[in-house]
């Protein structure tokens, strides 16, 4: 009798194992197809290098009050990143007490600096799209614009500059009509150029 019980127990255990294996096979069959997550972080770097005819930056020299002048040599912007990028810009006065304006002509202690990207020097006045972005290319104090694709290209859309590629930057400066601060001493401005994706 013990032998019959043992045989029956073994048969029962074997049946349970076979049943369990069948259930496992069915469980695997339910996950057909299966999925997993694949991820990657792209290596994207934006960068810009500015070079001018003068090692210390661009010098407009002596300009009369109320006058307008245009840079005579291109300022070179080089894309030092690893992807194509747009350039956005801003200007601030770092010595003296002038302030940058974008809308309307400058007045007392004010100046307007307008930027264009072009192969050749744009014509003074008509070659520079003055005014506030997005309708104009006159530069304001930082922060630089979030979107630059529609700026600085002679009234058109800016093309992306390829990695290691260059673009020519031209500036038009409109002087203050009169001075209350700063006097006739040297005025310096800081031009900020940013490489970005849009």
- DSSP string computed for 85-113: BEEEEEEEE-SSS-EE--SS---TTEEEE
116 with 187, same domain?
yes
The angle formed by the CA atoms of residues 169, 50 and 152, to the nearest 5 degrees, is: 30
- Which residue do the tokens 């849009």 mark? 198
26 with 116, same domain?
no
**DSSP character for 14?**
H
139 with 192, same domain?
yes
136 with 177, same domain?
yes
50-58's contacts with Cβ under 8 Å and 24+ in sequence apart are: 50/75, 50/76, 50/77, 50/78, 50/169, 50/191, 50/193, 51/75, 51/76, 51/78, 52/76, 57/188, 57/191, 58/171, 58/191
10 with 101, same domain?
no
Q: Where are the beta strands (DSSP E) in 148-188?
A: 166-174
Mean pLDDT, the chain, whole residue set: 87
28 with 101, same domain?
no
Q: State the total domains in the chain.
A: 2
Please state, for a pLDDT cut of 70, what percent of the chain lies above it: 83
pLDDT score recorded for residue 46: 97
1 with 53, same domain?
no
pLDDT score recorded for residue 11: 46
- Tell me which residue range forms the domain holding 126: 43-198
138 with 155, same domain?
yes
**184: nearest Cα among 112, 106, 114, 109:** 109
pLDDT digits (tens, 9 = 90+) for 10-63: 644 555 454 455 555 555 557 899 999 999 999 999 999 999 988 889 999 999
11 with 109, same domain?
no
User: CB neighbours of 183 closer than 8 A, spacing ≥ 6?
Assistant: 96
10 with 107, same domain?
no
Structure pTM?
Answer: 0.81
């Amino acid at each position: 009798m013990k032998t019959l019980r043992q045989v029956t127990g073994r048969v029962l255990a074997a049946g349970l194992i076979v049943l369990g294996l069948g259930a496992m096979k069915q469980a695997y069959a339910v996950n057909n197809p299966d999925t997993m997550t694949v991820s990657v972080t792209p290596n994207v770097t934006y960068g810009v290098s500015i070079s001018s005819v003068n090692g210390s930056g661009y010098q407009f020299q002596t300009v009369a009050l109320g006058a307008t002048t245009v840079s005579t040599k291109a300022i070179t912007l080089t894309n030092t990143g690893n992807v194509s990028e747009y350039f956005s810009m801003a200007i601030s006065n770092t010595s003296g007490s002038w302030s940058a304006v974008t809308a309307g002509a400058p007045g007392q202690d004010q100046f307007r600096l307008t930027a264009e990207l072009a192969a050749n020097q744009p014509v003074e006045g008509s070659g520079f799209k003055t005014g506030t972005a997005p309708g104009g290319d006159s530069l304001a104090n930082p922060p630089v614009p979030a979107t630059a694709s529609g700026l600085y290209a002679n009234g058109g859309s800016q093309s992306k500059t390829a990695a290691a590629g260059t673009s020519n930057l031209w500036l038009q400066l409109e002087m203050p009509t009169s001075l209350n601060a700063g006097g006739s001493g040297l005025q310096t401005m800081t031009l900020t150029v940013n490489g970005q994706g849009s």
